[in-house]
Amino acid sequence: MVTLRDVTETNFEHLIALSVREDQPFVAPNVYSIAQAKIYPEATIKGIYLDEMAVGFLMFGRDDEDVKEPAPWLIRFMIDARYQGKGYGKEALKLTLEAMTLTYPGEPIYLSTNPNNQAGIAFYEAFGFVSTGSIQHDELVFVRPPEVRHHE
């Protein structure tokens, strides 16, 4: 069963040890994201777990850097290379979007990714994200309108 858990002293080492495949240089290391969350306390960070095993990491929060008004952003989302392709990412993203919808009801959710991340783009599009056509920090910006309720 996939769950989202707080980052604590107990699981910190496990979460920073997770990494994506070498051909996926699109995600910042988890230790960087955890450090960012310390500086930006409005950010939410969670470990992605399969039963008692850490398999991924995510970060979301409100950001106004890349849009006109502060908006909810899925800032980081990763599944460790050893656990990709098993459906854990789909379950985790579903849980993440549910949490974000509860935190930011009725608001669009943004994310950005490298334009060359074709697998990631297809993954996010399957959850209702659409390209805005905007490029920020060399990444393509996507938005999930609030009327999109769940993964098809």
In terms of CATH architecture, what is 2-144? 3-Layer(aba) Sandwich (3.40)
To 10 degrees, what angle do helices 118-125 and 88-103 make? 60
Rounded to whole angstroms, the Cα distance separating 95 from 113 reads: 20
pLDDT by residue, tens only, the chain of 152 residues: 999 999 999 999 999 999 888 877 778 889 999 998 889 888 999 999 999 999 999 999 987 665 567 889 999 999 999 999 999 999 999 999 999 999 999 999 999 999 988 989 999 999 999 999 998 888 999 999 988 765 54
Rounded to whole angstroms, the Cα distance separating 57 from 14 reads: 10
